[in-house]
Amino acid sequence: MEFKGGYAGKILWINLSEKRIKKEPLPKDLAYNYLGGLGFVSRILFDLIKPKIDPLSPENVLAFATGPLTGTLFPQASRYIVAAKSPLTDIWGSAHSAGFWGPELKFAGYDMIIIRGRAEKPVYIWINDDYVEILDASHLWGLNVLETEDIIRRDHGDNKIRVACIGPAGEKLVRFAAVMNDKCRAAARSGMGTVMGSKNLKAIAVRGSKDIKIADPNRYLKIIKEFQQRMLNNPFTPSRIKYGTNNLIELMQEIGRLPTYNMKQGVFEEYHKISGEYIRTHYLIKPRACFACVQRCGRHTAVPEGPYAYVGGGPEFEGLSALGSRCGVSHTEAVLYANHLCNLYGMDVISCGATISWAMECYEKGIITERDTGGLALKWGDPELLVKLVKMIAFREGFGNLLAEGSWRAARKIGHGAEKYVMHVKKQEIAGQEPRAQKSMGLASATAARGADHLYAFPVLDEVGFNEEIKRRFGEQYLPEMADRLNPKYKGIMVAECENFAAVVESVGVCKYGTMIPPEFYYEDIALALEITVGFKFTSTELRKIGERIVNLNRAFNAREGVTRKDDTLPERFLKEPAPKGPAKGQIVELNQMLDEYYIHREWDLKNGLPTKKKLEELNLSDVVGQLERIGILLQ
């Protein structure tokens, strides 16, 4: 089917080893069957990345993709995705971010960039509409994220250039390095910055002056203004504007889901020191929006003086919980500063904080001693230590060199039972959701394609009981159980369906705020937006099928790497130890029950947790069946 708007219409292929640049028109059937963003990279990387390759070798392929709605007026349509095989999890890796970089790439005329090989020396890619060049980056190597962006803009004499880059952490191959764009926005998870570093690619700088066309300009503005108004009228919007995501600290404390002391518990006595209200009243300069956003959850904050002084973007809930409560640190300024440093050096705050908190628990238990740490006492809540460790990790100094491997690899090196305290799934650290307090989040972490992840499904409908939305999206028969965050019933269905929808959201290029939470827009709204922007006419069912296709394809990617049901699990802590305190006291995660329901709903094989042949064929993925069978993975 033809597209009449929305897409930029071109794919940019770059081979860094051969210094080759190629532009190709966007295949129509790729657009129609995979939409964009996550869909594009899932299909292309499944085909390009050979199984079992070393993620840090030149054979790995790194792809950046936008969606057909990225850069348009749809509320919060500012996202791009970056994907590759993950050096943290050794399976499917992807991370997404908003800001202004993705839209700029489209205005330059490209929906996607696919990067192969490895440059001999540090380079950066300069894209100015049709003009694309691989430039020397030796003067940028070693610089932090802010400096990198400033110097690129200065060198090209254009303040409107948008930059996605890595900081020192990516250069030093810290396994959870982020791709940073627009200075403080992070495509953080699963080590995509590490892959960039391994390719000697410091940055991609973009400036665009082209149009994105509108399929139906006559109906467009009227419909889209209604969407904007709906977003604005949503009861959640005022608090997003006021607190960003920071007031989730208070909310999570209230439901006992705030990760504390390496997730030993879900409540933190001193939570108010890192709370949304505290940060707003003491450190907020201004809320700032991403491209085309009316929710403006972005924060610009400052600590005006003292050892932790800075001015910059952030923080966000995940940073506050990972570096704050998770490590027992209640010194607000130290937490803010540590978060700022993660941005400067280009690191995932979640994995960084989680790895530090794992080390703290091992220290408490006597598994890690001062002999391992070079004399550092890893005490809970020490603000100076926190800041010091963040720096040591980013530059791989001393004990930081071990932590830079991520908690799973570090634990294997330490031994003596340290593995037991790694809060991970498939080697990636679990994000800021204590799963015993919200069962759906536990399941979501267990099944997510990129290892432990709250965003792949982002099942938030049971967080504060969105009963009406559950009725609308699933049907009344699932109430009240589905809305109850402590009840495992129907969570398998919810997580599977949320994954399908989230895949569509990540593919069209819009934000999960507004689609997942608050659950304002659903399939029919996306379908309408695609109709007036692109000219594609999809029903909700067809869109859902695309989402399902993408999830199955990600699963197939992981199956090639050896993932089966046994890997869809959680740390023992959540399966066996009842939550010790707070509102979720006494709870464990009933994972097996939820998993069964999940696989059944997915129509996957209950035993090995893999898609069946029939399912893949039904989703027009017959070629995938063949590919898996060729390497000896037999499907039911």
Partner 1 sequence: MAVDYVHQFALLVLLNLNRKVTKIQKILVVDPEKCTGCRLCELVCSAFHEKAFSPIKSRIHIIKWDEKAVDVPMVCQHCSKPVCVDICPTNALYKDAKNGIVVVDETRCIGCKVCVLSCPFGAISWDTEHGKILKCDLCDGEPQCVKICKFDALKYVKADKVTLLRKREGAKKLSELVSLIVGEGFYARG
- Residues at the contact surface with partner 1, assessed by CB under 8 A: 5, 71-73, 100, 107, 146, 159, 182-183, 209-214, 217, 220-221, 225, 228, 232, 285-294, 296, 300, 311-312
Helix (H) or strand (E) holding 305: none
Closer residue to partner 1, CB minimum distance, 346 or 435: 346
Query: Which class for 73: exposed (0-12), middle (13-18), buried (19 or more C-beta within 10 A)?
Result: middle
Q: How far is the CB of 494 from partner 1 (least distance, A)?
A: 32
Nearer to partner 1, 237 or 552 (CB): 237
Contact criterion met (CB below 8 Å) for 335 and 386: yes
Q: Which is nearer to partner 1, 227 or 358 (CB)?
A: 227
Q: Could you tell me the two tokens for 224?
A: 């889209």
Give the contacts of 626 (CB within 8 A, at least 6 positions apart): none
Q: How far is the CB of 132 from partner 1 (least distance, A)?
A: 18
Nearer to partner 1, 58 or 287 (CB): 287
HEC profile of 36-48: CHHHHHHHHHHHH
User: Closest approach of Cβ 212 to partner 1, in Å?
Assistant: 4
Report the nearest approach of partner 1 to the CB of residue 311 (Å).
Answer: 7
* Shortest Cβ 150–partner 1 spacing (Å): 8
Nearest distance, CB of residue 352 and partner 1, angstroms: 23
Nearer to partner 1, 1 or 221 (CB): 221
Least distance (Å) between residue 226 CB and partner 1 = 12
Q: What is the C-alpha separation between 369 and 403, in angstroms, rounded?
A: 14
Residue closer to partner 1, measured from CB, 244 or 400: 244
Taking CA atoms, 292 is separated from 69, 406, 493, 538, in Å, by 11, 35, 32, 24
Distance CA 417, CA 472 (A): 47
Q: Could you give the 3-state DSSP secondary structure of residue 99? A: coil
Q: What is the DSSP string of 570-632?
A: --HHHHHSPP-SSTTTT----HHHHHHHHHHHHTB-TTT--B-HHHHHHTT-HHHHHHHHHTT
**Least Å from the CB of residue 241 to partner 1:** 9
Give, in order, the Cα–Cα distances in Å from 214 to each of 515, 540, 611: 22, 21, 37
Give, in degrees to the nearest 5, the angle at Cα 499 between 3 and 541: 50
Q: Which residues contact 305 (CB under 8 A, 6 or more apart)?
A: none
- The whole-angstrom separation of Cα 189 and Cα 322 is 13
Q: Closer to partner 1 by CB, 238 or 586: give it.
A: 238
Nearer to partner 1, 72 or 332 (CB): 72
* CB 73 to partner 1: min, Å: 5
At a CB cut-off of 8 Å and minimum separation 6, what does 559 contact? 610, 611, 628, 633
Residue 5: CB minimum distance to partner 1, A: 8
Nearer to partner 1, 240 or 573 (CB): 240
Between 196 and 292, whose beta carbon lies closer to partner 1?
292
Q: List CB contacts of 274: < 8 A, sequence separation 6 or more.
A: 249, 268, 320, 321, 324, 325, 330, 332, 335
Q: Of 88 and 179, which CB lies nearer to partner 1 in the complex structure?
A: 179
Is the backbone peptide bond immediately before 287 cis, with ω within 30 degrees of 0?
no
160 or 379: whose CB is closer to partner 1? 160
Minimal distance, residue 293 CB to partner 1, in Å: 5
User: Residues 170, 198: contact at Cβ < 8 Å?
Assistant: no
- Beta strand ranges found along 403-559 (DSSP E): 424-425, 428-429
Query: For partner 1, which is the closer residue by CB, 292 or 504?
Result: 292
Q: How far is the CB of 366 from partner 1 (least distance, A)?
A: 45
Beta bridge partners of 13: 22, 114
Residue showing tokens 């250069």 = 171
Please state the closest distance from residue 289 (CB atom) to partner 1, in A.
4
- Reported as type and span, the H/E element at residue 151 is helix 145-156
Question: Measured from the CB atom, is 8 or 610 closer to partner 1?
Answer: 8
d(CA 102, CA 510): 11
Q: What is d(CA 61, CA 264) in angstroms, rounded to the nearest whole number?
A: 38
Q: For residue 493, how far is the Cα from the chain centroid?
A: 22
Q: Shortest distance, CB of residue 213 to partner 1, whole angstroms?
A: 5
